[in-house]
Amino acid sequence: MPTPTAPPRSLQVFTTAQGSPQRLALTATLPLGSGAQPPEGDVSVFVNPALRFQTLLGIGGAVTDAAAEVFAKLSPAKQDELLKAYFDPAQGLGYSLLRTTIHSSDFSSASYTYVNNGDAALASFDIAPDRRYRLPLLQRALKTAAAGGGSVTTFASPWSAPAWMKDNANMLQGGKLLPQYAGAWALYFTKFIRAYEKEGVPIWGITVQNEPMAKQTWESMIFTAEEERDFLKNHLGPTMQREGLGDRKIIVWDHNRDLITHRAHTILGDPEAAPYVWGVGFHWYETWAGGEPMHRNVAAVHEAYPKVNLLLTEATVERFDPARLQWWPNAERYGSQMIADFNSGAVGWTDWNILLDERGGPNHVGNFCFAPVHADTKTGELTYTPSFAYLGHFSKFIRPGAQRVSAVSSRSTLQTTAFVNPQGPTGRQLAVVVMNSGDAAVSYRLQIGAQEVALTIPAHAIQTIAG
């Protein structure tokens, strides 16, 4: 067990609450006193920094074509503002994880690939479409993070192979990869990585296929569990190794929590496929069929394969409605699910588009969604939603390399998770996130080891307590 972190002498409390103009605001600095057995009637949050779990990879979002196209329409001042708001560790949220797409997705203005039709040798491969908007934004994001002393891990996902590689001859509407193009499609990944790195954007890892069980009206491609396993072990994994990219991470599944255990058992139970797998990615959209988020399935995979990493690779609030830009339940969805995913073993959490326009796009099939920040392309103004602040209560205070520690609430009125940073922001190592989604303020005792402090969290609020 690691050496326990020295107990903090004081705590800083940062709060975001509905009805208050302050977000991520320092609302208290409190000394810690000696702890005592809490009465049964009190609400308590218990943190034990000596009990360590997974190590954090990062927290962040996605640079899509849509985000980059909207960003390009902003004034230079607004561009700088947005970059600092997301990527500066001191002045902003300190995003440390980014996802991008391999050619187009629904959040592009049109479908496109990097090769000419029928070019199985990939001789025409060229990422020229990305040089106009997407690569400049990625480059500036990495530079902004580095200037503030941070760093960003970038991974990429495909939504579909080129239409001519598929049995439905269409990038949209699902379809499957034709067997004769499996080798070419695997090589396509490596050419993408090489091309991006030549542009100064290191690609840390890839996912095999975005949402491989969804036939969508946009770019999509179906892989059953067995098909993904076989593509990985027979084509993608060996090709990455042969091309000198065996150190890049490969993430399987990259779809909702509902079917995650079946996919994990099928791929990780295969001795030839499993060695290529760094982790299992998942999304939060299983609620489309009714019911609650299935965090217990993430925990089941973690229990079965404790050495395999779990990563939330995409989450967004669907069905954009401009009347709900400041709708608090959107933010609480983020807070609640991030806490539950981290407590289930996730090593990172990746939001979807970092920026969208006043319609929740652009999106070439009308699949408009929310982002933490929206730009009005007519006025050039930026709107920061409550979700932006809720994400910041994690990303700003829980940094890459942090270890999750034991944190539980004595009552269901509060949700909590906690991490210890290797080198804490502003010198503070411990970060405890507490969320209250109820209609009344809650007074609670925060016990950290043998010490404690009395706190109150407003109704519909989130707090990060740093110590």
Q: How many whole angstroms from its chain centre is CA 117?
A: 33
- At a CB cut-off of 8 Å and minimum separation 6, what does 456 contact? 441, 442, 443, 444
Q: Single out the catalytic residue among 211, 228, 286, 332.
A: 211
**Closest C-alpha among 177, 183, 208, 184 to residue 124:** 184
In Å, what is the CA distance from 429 to each residue of 12, 34, 74? 11, 20, 36
Q: Single out the catalytic residue among 69, 219, 228, 314.
A: 314
Distance CA 190, CA 130 (A): 16
Which tokens hold the place of 274? 């499993």
| Contact (CB, 8 A) for 97 and 59 | yes
Distance CA 110, CA 137 (A): 19
69 is catalytic: no
Please state whether 132 falls in left (phi above 0), alpha (psi between -120 and 50) or beta: alpha
Exposed / middle / buried, residue 218 (Cβ in 10 Å: 0-12, 13-18, 19+): buried
Q: Where are the strands (E) in 309-436, listed by range? A: 309-314, 348-353, 356-357, 373-375, 382-384, 403-409, 414-420, 430-436
Q: Where are the strands (E) in 204-257, listed by range? A: 205-207, 249-256
211 is catalytic: yes
Partners of 17 in beta bridges: 461
Alpha helices in 65-127 (DSSP H): 65-72, 76-87
Distance CA 232, CA 270 (A): 11
Count of Cβ atoms closer than 10 Å to residue 41 Cβ: 6
The amino acid at residue 214 is A
Strand 382-384 with 430-436, pairing: unpaired
If you write DSSP's letter for every residue of 188-219 in order, what string do you get? HHHHHHHHHHHTT----EEES-SSTT---SSB
Is 97 in a helix, a strand, or coil? strand
**Closest C-alpha among 460, 457, 453 to residue 46:** 453
Q: Which residues are catalytic?
A: 211, 314
